[in-house]
Structure 1
Amino acid sequence: MTATIQQSTRGPEQILAEVRNNKMSQFQIITVTIALMMVILDGFEVGIMAFAAPQIQEQMGISSDILGYVLSGSLFGMAIGSIFLTPLADRFGRRPLTLAMLALIVLGMALTLTAPSAGWLIAWRILTGLGIGGMMANLNALVAEYSSDKRRTTAIAIYAAGYPIGATIAGFIARPLIPEFGWHSMFIAGTILAVLALVAAFFLLPESLDYLFGRRPAGALERVNTILTKMNLAPLASLPEVQVDEENRVSTKNTIRDILSPPTLRLTIALWVGYALLVAAYYFANTWIPTILTNVSGDPQLGNAMGIGANLGGVLGCFVFAALAMRFSGRHLLFLTLFAAAGAYLVFGMVFSIIPVAIMVGFVLGVLTTGGIAGFYAVAPTIYSSRSRATGIGWMIGIGRLVSVAAPIIVGYILASGAAPEKVFLYFAVPLLISGAAALTLLFGRSTATLAD
């Protein structure tokens, strides 16, 4: 009986404080792991095109400038999905949006198999990207909310590793599949994996406690108590009354105002600039490296090996960032990583023609750029409140992807003009330097977010 009385006096703030101050339970670890599996799928679905591109270009007779649009198709979809679909998670919930986005990915991957031309290929890649973009930022928020304060930056950095892991898996699968069965085989594999992920998420992915407490959807108390029981926390007898105006219940206007008003506005702009320029450089390298090296060397396996090496470096980068984040501030690690990445691009451009050295530098390049992405994923949730967290992260990723769409396209035109490929890497060191400067400004001032950095 005493426990019941104590339960009735605990408010959302006290419960969320318990979640964030206690050691992570098995349920929390499983939830983060499920999110990791989902982002591995995202990396696989995007990585497919980079490895299939050389054969698609040959079979469809696509020029380098048009191939740039094909490679950017999913990036454009990801940008639109992050900006316009992710905010729906703050309104309708993290779980339903994730399921809807997975269904969209299944549809896009399946339709890609039917593409008769570059135009249709671009259209279906945009559709796939919509699902990926709408899901990634949403899951980023979910991981942040289910992680303890002590392990949040580390958990998100490990979560971020899922993307290069997925792209690396795509590379390893592409090596035997594409030469033997053609590029369509990769999209068949991607469709099957997306269906399996949808089924797994339906049965295993929980709703966010922050969302349930903040929005109070139908059955919120029962859903909260189910989650608390799985986390070995005492359930509630009732949900304390909160004042939520009708406007906040039915629109995302207030969440957008949150991220675009002082003191958060300056930090939001820094996130947008820093992340956008980083992912522009990242997607240039990850979409074009296999094709560039294949065209320069005449050996498709060499381009494939370089792509795999860069993605393996990306996996290591996320885990290195995660390990360092256990001792150092994520914001300090972020700007240092970005300045180092700019140096790696300069070196890569200078040693491009020395293939063994270029492969090693490409690996380091993957370590640093993906480590930087992990850093932005880790820092962004600490800037926004629970009410606007998915929106804030979604807009950061969406704006970044929208800018990054131009990178493969611009590179396509540069290469079509006859420019030396190594020059492009030198050019992209500049946006990385600016990205580092933007990340440096995140050290000055914090918002009123409830999550600790």
Structure 2
Amino acid sequence: MDIRQTINDTSMSTYQWFIVFIAVLLNALDGFDVLAMSFTANAVTEEFGLSGSQLGVLLSSALFGMTAGSLIFGPIGDRFGRKNALMIALLFNVVGLFLSSTAQSAGQLGVWRLITGLGIGGILACITVVISEFSNNKNRGMAMSIYAAGYGVGASVGGFGAAQLIPTFGWRSVFAAGAIATGVAMIVTFFFMPESVDWLSTRRPAGAREKVNNIARRLGKVGTFEFPGEQSLSTKKAGVQSYVALMNKDNRATTIKLWAAFGIVMFGFYFANTWTPKLLVEMGMSEQQGIIGGLMLSMGGAFGSLLYGFLTTKFSARNTLMVFMVLAGATLIMFITSTSVPSIAFASGVVVGMLINGCVAGLYTISPQLYSAEVRTTGVGAAIGMGRVGAISAPLLVGSLLDSGWSPTQLYVGVAVIVVAGATSLIGMRTQAATVVEKQPEALATK
């Protein structure tokens, strides 16, 4: 019996859904981290005397780390195992958050944020692939959307927590709380997250067959499972060959389109989530209203991810994503032009959060389905890394434009146009089920 075919075709067990729950917890760490820096921005700016451009650099420091982490941990996951890479990434995250709580200067905080970002980038590259691989064909889109909804949950909890912690304990307490939460998540992952059966089947380390069958029993899959076909790329060559494979004749067009889509969506996503509280204050709202506006985006995010997952059971995942991108651009404009009426602004903020988070859920859903198992973590990690280029550009560009006199309205309209135009990058993108027949090593090497 083939374990991949069995997972694809049989109902998801309670343990498989528990794996999705762990992924939600890990993705929530990303949401917490981004919003933690956003909500502490005013306090950090006041303590260290930062300009808009300097704050933009600080906001981007973790994103630089995320870019590097996604690119570094992707090949590590393909070579040494998804879970092993994930545990190392979690360790980086814990250390970075703890050290951020001790920062005594903007420079120190930037370095510790960079380390935090390395961990988060690695977490996302690995866990996105794991969830896709442990989901069946019927529920894969919904499982990925539930996972993506974790970002909004973490952002909301982190935002509410930050609002309570900062006035009483100062901004450093927010990062200390994040370190504790990440430490708990690391323990849960170590004991309950299994290694990828796709990695075990293609890399075949010592005892792989026994490990696959043990995992299958935990998943509730009955039978004895064997490995079909030949072994995949040798472990020693996995890292180099994985990146080469992303640009072979079969993957090149898809890879470029996926990178473009990730970059544009992440540009809009991080613009909305990092700058909204401050820009709403610039529009005349109080600091408390600015925080509430940011929370509205986060709260809408969780619902948007689930809405996207539901729609993919009825419509094409790619087409649904394109519609979400167009509507996200339109509601960004509605949001910033309605700030004179806070109730309307907050309501439209929920819609913006729903749509922009739905876009992220869409990218997470389709990206693992584009690559075979031996390069899957590298492919997803590279796409997330390219997405971080857009994420990094958002705080830096917006900070510079704000210093040069751009109004919040001009900034939101500009970002809206970019997001709408980005929907064209999905035209012609092919997706395939995670049941891809693994390429033989000699075939991969000749492309």
> How would you bin the TM-score normalised by the shorter chain?
over 0.9
Q: Is the 1:349–1:423 contact (alpha carbons within 8 Å) kept by the matching residues of 2?
A: no
User: How far apart, CA to CA, are the structure 1 residues paired with 2:334 and 2:280?
Assistant: 17
Residues 112 and 242 (structure 1 numbering): CA distance in 2 closer, same or farther, change over 3 Å?
Answer: same
Aligned partner (choices 352, 369, 373) of residue 386 of structure 1: 373
Shift of 1:450: 2.5
Note the 1:245-394 alignment, pairs <5 A.
246=234, 249-297=236-284, 299-394=286-381
Note the 1:397-408 alignment, pairs <5 A.
397-408=384-395
**Is residue 2:45 matched to residue 1:57?**
yes
Give the secondary structure class of the aligned counterpart of 2:427.
Answer: helix
Give the share of equivalent positions with the same residue, in percent: 36
Shift of 1:411: 0.7
Amino acid at match of 1:289: T
User: How far apart, CA to CA, are the structure 2 residues paired with 1:339 and 1:61?
Assistant: 38
1:230 corresponding residue in structure 2: 218
User: How far apart, CA to CA, are the structure 1 residues paired with 2:305 and 2:232?
Assistant: 38
Note the 1:1-400 alignment, pairs <5 A.
10=1, 14-236=2-224, 242-244=230-232, 246=234, 249-297=236-284, 299-400=286-387
Amino acid at match of 2:38: A
Q: Deviation digits for residues 34-80 of structure 1, max 9, x if unmatched?
A: 11111112211222101111111112111111001111111111111
**Is residue 2:435 matched to residue 1:450?**
yes
Amino acid at match of 1:100: I
Shift of 1:369: 0.6
Amino acid at match of 2:322: F
The Cα RMSD (Å) is 1.8
**Is residue 2:396 matched to residue 1:409?**
yes
User: How far apart, CA to CA, are the structure 1 residues paired with 2:432 and 2:348?
Assistant: 37
Unaligned runs of 5+ in 1: 1-9
Q: Is the 1:82–1:134 contact (alpha carbons within 8 Å) kept by the matching residues of 2?
A: yes
Q: Is the 2:4–2:435 contact (alpha carbons within 8 Å) kept by the matching residues of 1?
A: no
User: How far apart, CA to CA, are the structure 2 residues paired with 1:187 and 1:198?
Assistant: 16
Shift of 1:167: 0.8
Residues 229 and 425 (structure 1 numbering): CA distance in 2 closer, same or farther, change over 3 Å?
Answer: same
1:7 corresponding residue in structure 2: none
Question: Mean Cα displacement is larger for which, 340-349 or 285-294?
Answer: 340-349
User: How far apart, CA to CA, are the structure 2 residues paired with 1:245 and 1:54?
Assistant: 50
Shift of 1:128: 0.2
2:442 corresponding residue in structure 1: none
Shift of 1:131: 0.3
Q: TM-score, normalised by structure 2?
A: 0.94
User: How far apart, CA to CA, are the structure 1 residues paired with 2:329 and 2:35?
Assistant: 23
User: How far apart, CA to CA, are the structure 1 residues paired with 2:142 and 2:132?
Assistant: 10
Q: TM-score, normalised by structure 1?
A: 0.92
Shift of 1:98: 0.8
User: How far apart, CA to CA, are the structure 2 residues paired with 1:239 and 1:149?
Assistant: 20
Q: Deviation digits for residues 374-417 of structure 1, max 9, x if unmatched?
A: 00110111111111111111111100102220111111111122
Q: Is the 1:160–1:318 contact (alpha carbons within 8 Å) kept by the matching residues of 2?
A: yes
Q: Deviation digits for residues 257-303 of structure 1, max 9, x if unmatched?
A: 22211222111111111110111011011001112223443622111
The alignment of Structure 1 onto Structure 2 pairs a total of residues equal to 437
Q: Deviation digits for residues 402-447 of structure 1, max 9, x if unmatched?
A: 22201111111111223211110000012112221112332xx456
Q: Deviation digits for residues 318-359 of structure 1, max 9, x if unmatched?
A: 011111122222111111111111111222343344333222
**Is residue 2:441 matched to residue 1:440?**
no
